[in-house]
Structure 1
Amino acid sequence: MAGVGYASNPEFTAEGRPVSDFLSPDRVVIGASDPETARLVEELHQGVDGEVVVMDIPSAEMAKMASNALLATKISFINEIASICEATGADVGNVARAVGLDHRLGPHFLQAGIGWGGSCFPKDSEALKQLASNTGYHPQLLSAVIEVNNLQKRRAISKVKDLLGTLEGATVALLGLTFKPGTDDMREATSAVLAARLLAESAAVRCWDPLARPEAVEPWASTTRCESVLETVTGADAAILVTEWPQLREVPWEEARGLMRRPVLYDGRNLLEPATMRDLGFRYLSVGRP
Structure 2
Amino acid sequence: MIEIRGLTKRYGAATAVDDVTFTVQPGRVTGFLGPNGAGKSTTMRMICALTRPTSGETLVLGRRYEEIPNPGCSVGVLLDASAQHAGRTGREALTVSALTMGLDRSRVEQMLELVGLTPVEAKRRVGGYSLGMRQRLGIANALLGDPQVLVLDEPANGLDPAGIHWMRTLLADFTSGGGTALLSSHLLREVEVIADDLVVIGRGRIVAQGTKEELLSTGGTLARSDDDGALAAALGQRGIATAPSPRGGLVVEAEPTVVGRLAADHRIALTELRASDGGGLEERFLQLTAADAREGVDR
What TM-score does the superposition give when structure 2 sets the normalisation length? 0.26
Higher relative contact order (CA 8 A, sep 6+): 2
Structure with the higher fraction of residues in helix conformation:
1
What TM-score does the superposition give when structure 1 sets the normalisation length? 0.26
